[in-house]
Amino acid sequence: MGEFELIRKYFTLHSNEVNLEQNCVQLGIGDDCALINIPHGDVLAVSTDTFLEGTHFFKDTNPFAIGFKSLAVNLSDLAAMGAEPVAFTLALTLPDSNEDFIAEFSRGLFTIADRFRISLVGGDTTRGPLSVTITVMGKTPCNEAIRRSGARDNDVICVSGALGGAAYGVALRYDKSKIHGNPDSAKAFNLLDYPNPRMDLVPFMHKYRVNSALDISDGFLGDLKHILDSSEKSAEIDIKDIPISEALHNLPADEQLNYALNGGDDYEICFTLSEKDYLLWQDDYKSGKAPKIYRVGTIKELSDNRISKGNRVTFTENGKAVSRHIDRNSFSHF
């Protein structure tokens, strides 16, 4: 089967099926452009990410996971903005027309596309070193998109899930001697290869008036800094409140904390909201009506004199000042 036929078999035909279910998509693949209806009162949210073999995923990553994760991390950007998925385009560069690869890649891609009801509406396939660029489009009510810049004094800082497990997966892929007999390696690899974009949070982020949000892709501390820079605020973080991934539970406490604070690839959401809204969310969580969230700190004025110059985050431990050293350097992805 030629490359054109492979693309048609594994991408074009599937995408048309999904399009029929998606009333936003007026015209899918096959013309010069796709056509998409953005409902009146909504704004379009757009994000682009490139995935390169050797930079964003290891050479031995299975094609199903590459397809899955490429779209998952883009969906995560929509979730962080408070947007619902609508459509995406795929630019795929392949070294050869290997049907096994294309079949598994597309199965991974459409597993997550179908789960979150997002339509493939266009793309381009070229020959070259393996690379995946996805542009994802979503919608959110005008003036309700959640920006990084909206954090307010005394906002509660939350994260949507346990941190550090995916970064441990990266470390294990680098040092394979630590995989054998390690009860946690499967968990860590699962977190690394199959991130769960937190689309489930979106309605709750609007309901509880979340003021600022982003997704944790480069490590909690580094990403929190983007909120603090954009919002011109500082933060106090209690290290005992950081939720640690289960995949790390057999490591020494300091290593656990280091992965959770500085590891990347979590794709949980970090967000801030008022104390009052946080308490409402917690009440609803306790009665089973909202997803679990983790309070990890508080937004402070930038002029707060407890914040040392040049560093916007201070740490406490069970409410008291921390005496021990806390590593603040993000891991590199690879």
Indicate the residue among 106 and 131 with the shorter CB distance to a second copy: 131
Q: Please, are residues 132 and 73 in contact by the beta-carbon 8 Å criterion?
A: no
Q: Which of residues 165-224 bind a second copy (CB under 8 A)?
A: 213-215
Cα(77)–Cα(49) distance, rounded to whole angstroms?
Answer: 10
Q: Among 142, 186, 279, 302, which residue interacts with a second copy (rule: CB under 8 A)?
A: 142
Indicate the residue among 35 and 279 with the shorter CB distance to a second copy: 35
Instruction: Please count the residues of this chain forming the interface with a second copy, following the rule CB under 8 A.
Output: 57
Q: Please, are residues 295 and 278 in contact by the beta-carbon 8 Å criterion?
A: yes
Q: What is the DSSP letter of 120?
A: E
Please report whether residue 80 would count as binding a second copy according to CB under 8 A.
yes
Least distance (Å) from a second copy to the CB of residue 149?
8
Indicate the residue among 155 and 184 with the shorter CB distance to a second copy: 155
Indicate the residue among 44 and 279 with the shorter CB distance to a second copy: 44
Cα(101)–Cα(93) distance, rounded to whole angstroms?
Answer: 12
Residue 134: CB atoms within 10 A of its CB come to 23
Q: Among 112, 137, 162, 248, which residue interacts with a second copy (rule: CB under 8 A)?
A: 137
Indicate the residue among 55 and 250 with the shorter CB distance to a second copy: 55
Q: Interface mask (CB under 8 A) for a second copy, residues 309-328, using x and -? A: --------------------
Q: Interface mask (CB under 8 A) for a second copy, residues 10-49, using x and -? A: ----------------xx--xxxxxxxxx-x--xxxxxxx
- Torsion, Cα 249 254 260 264, to 10 degrees, reads -110
Q: Which stretch binds a second copy (CB under 8 A): 100-108, 123-131, 154-162, 200-208?
A: 123-131
Least distance (Å) from a second copy to the CB of residue 197?
11
Indicate the residue among 172 and 199 with the shorter CB distance to a second copy: 199
Please report whether residue 118 would count as binding a second copy according to CB under 8 A.
no
- Torsion, Cα 194 195 196 202, to 10 degrees, reads -150
Cβ-defined contacts of 170-173 (< 8 Å, 24+): 170/263, 170/264, 170/265, 170/331, 170/333, 170/334, 171/259, 173/58
Q: Tell me whether residue 48 is annotated as binding.
A: yes
Residue 149: CB atoms within 10 A of its CB come to 14
Amino acid at 317: E
Phi then psi dihedrals of residue 31, to 5 deg? -115, -170
Using only C-alpha atoms, what is the Rg of the chain?
21
Q: Tell me whether residue 226 is annotated as binding.
A: no
Q: Among 16, 89, 111, 190, which residue interacts with a second copy (rule: CB under 8 A)?
A: 89
Cα(219)–Cα(313) distance, rounded to whole angstroms?
Answer: 14
Q: Tell me whether residue 331 is annotated as binding.
A: yes
Cβ within 8 Å of residue 8, ≥6 positions away: none
Annotated binding site for ATP: 123-124, 148, 217
**Chain residues in the site for a second copy (CB under 8 A):** 26-27, 30-38, 40, 43-50, 52, 54-56, 77-78, 80-81, 83, 87, 89-91, 93, 121-124, 126-129, 131, 133, 135, 137-138, 140, 142, 145, 147-149, 213-215, 230
Annotated binding site for Mg(2+): 32, 47-49, 77, 124, 215, 218
